Amino acid sequence: MAPKVFLVGAGPGDPDLLTVKAARLLRQAGIVLHDSLVDARILALAETAELIDVGKRCGRQSTAQSKINELLVACARTGQVVVRLKGGDPMVFGRATEEVQALAAAGFDCEVVPGVTAAVAAAASLKMSLTRRQVARTVHFLTGHGAEGGMPAHDFAALARAGGTLVIYMGGQTVGGLAAHFIEAGLAPETPAVAVENASLETERRFFGTVSTLPRMVSEAKPEGPLLLLIGVALEDARHAEEVLEDAQSE
């Protein structure tokens, strides 16, 4: 039987970055369970669906994951087309595995529809390749907080040694500790860093600095939307390119 439950990526916010398949499924859905961060213009596509806000926002969670799993199974039992709509890509810091497993345990198959994850949306805004020949050979997607909300137990020395681009999700609250850990682990304090708030939306803001100035940049910016932190030598070019363009346009 064709699966009736879809775990769908809503992308980073800009409705134009939704996949064609996601848009089609939203139009067909009977029930949409969505994260709070999903843009209203995207939800508006689900004209005939019952919308259920399961409340995840910026990594905070107002509905326990176990409750979301139960709700998803209950929705699947209705036999309607069910869309579980998640910010960005469902498979990146989205706890999708738990939802897939809960559905499977109840006998329901599902299909996963990828979305544009925040890291690539931010890279596009910055016009910065996350990888670059000779300069950034690796990309790491990292969580900015541990299971209980404190510092994550990363191998900071190994990440610093890797010398690639570090992309930190959910790091707005722990940015001070993260920067200190990276510098202590050997990352040069002057390593370029960027914070991107609301990547892809009209309200997007970008802050350029270094890993040592990143905590001050973030605390001064007082971001209210989702924030992504990017650290790495490849970012130097992004800042430079923006400055060159601004200078050329002002001449």
Ligand X SMILES: C[S@@+](CC[C@H](N)C(=O)[O-])C[C@H]1O[C@@H](n2cnc3c(N)ncnc32)[C@H](O)[C@@H]1O
Does residue 174 interact with ligand X by CB under 6 A? no
Does residue 12 interact with ligand X by CB under 6 A? yes
Site string for ligand X, 67-96 (x = CB under 6 A): -------------------xxxx--xxx--
56 is catalytic: yes
**Given 14, 56, 86, 89, the catalytic residue:** 56
Q: What is the 3-state secondary structure (H, E, C) of the chain?
A: CCCCEEEEECECCCHHHCCHHHHHHHHHCCEEEECCCCCHHHHCCCCCCEEEECCEECCEECCCHHHHHHHHHHHHHCCCCEEEEECECCCCCCCHHHHHHHHHHCCCCEEEECCCCHHHHHHHHHCCCCCECCCECCEEEEECCCCCCCCCCCCHHHHHHHCCEEEEECCCCCHHHHHHHHHHCCCCCCCEEEEEECCCCCCCEEEEEECCCHHHHHHHHCCCCCEEEEECCCHHHHHHHHHHHHHHHHC
Residue nearer to ligand X on the CB measure, 93 or 207:
93
List 4, 6, 13, 215, residue binding ligand X (CB under 6 A): 13
Size of the site for ligand X (CB under 6 A): 23
Residue nearer to ligand X on the CB measure, 139 or 228:
228
Distance of closest approach, residue 124 Cβ to ligand X, in angstroms = 11
Site residues (CB under 6 A) for ligand X?
A: 12-13, 58-59, 86-89, 92-94, 117-118, 121, 169-170, 196, 198-200, 226-228
Active site residues: 35, 56
